[in-house]
Amino acid sequence: MNKKIKIIGVTGKSGSGKSSLCKILCSHKKIFLISADKIAHEIISYNKNVYISLVKTFGVEILNDNFSINRKKLSDIVFKSDENIKKINFITHEAIIFEIKSEIETVLSENKNYDLIVIDAPLLIETGSNKICDEVWLVCAKKNLLEQRLILRDNISQDKINIRLKNQIEFDEAKKFADKIIYNDGNLIDLENKIKKILGSEK
């Protein structure tokens, strides 16, 4: 029987560097990585209930000519208001959590020799997914850095950035649930050194 695989939830506001942290972890450990954002992108095409609810809520204008959902059109509508973000979260969260749990169960049942299962989820705490984790790692950065990274990464307006960040848990609240807090205000080398230090302390 293999050792119990620790489940780590990595969370933080958009632009904090969650994905970068996960890539660094994958370069140092044998990790099964679960991306909540990737699941969210995928379920709109294969989950019939989610698809129907999205079309009913946001209209047929979010559809391509072949009736698939155009993610950019959907995103443009969603990030117009706080209310629209709440609507899409209500529609998708249950399905996302179900898929996360299913992936974890599959890995554990196959008894694969991973060092860690890592869940990369911006809304880990808000959805209660932190409860299925052995540890929660909170990645944070100064607001101006978050904004700069989002502009470079997603090429979105300041208004959309403000709405996105506003609808994610604030640091003072999130840190209550965190086992480790990683401040990512530097470059990738700085971040990797911090991760190495954490991994080294756990040996």
Name the H helices within the chain.
18-28, 36-46, 48-58, 71-78, 82-110, 143-154, 158-166, 171-174, 188-201
Residue 189 inside a domain? The answer is yes
Range of the domain at 129: 6-201
- Whether 139 and 12 have beta carbons less than 8 Å apart is answered as yes
DSSP 69: B
d(CA 62, CA 203): 49
Residue 1 inside a domain? The answer is no
- Whether 39 and 119 have beta carbons less than 8 Å apart is answered as no
Domain with residue 145: its CATH number is 3.40.50.300
Number of domains, the chain = 1
Paired residues of 117 in beta bridges: 7, 32
pLDDT for 3: 56
d(CA 25, CA 193): 11
- Whether 11 and 136 have beta carbons less than 8 Å apart is answered as yes
d(CA 194, CA 45): 38
pLDDT for 1: 37
3-state secondary structure of 116: strand
- Whether 10 and 121 have beta carbons less than 8 Å apart is answered as yes
From first to last of the 203 residues of the chain, give the pLDDT tens digit. Answer: 345 899 999 999 999 999 999 999 999 989 999 999 999 989 988 899 999 999 999 999 999 999 999 998 998 899 888 899 999 999 999 999 999 999 999 998 887 789 999 999 999 999 999 999 999 999 999 999 999 999 888 888 888 888 888 888 899 999 999 999 999 999 999 999 999 999 887 65
pLDDT for 92: 94
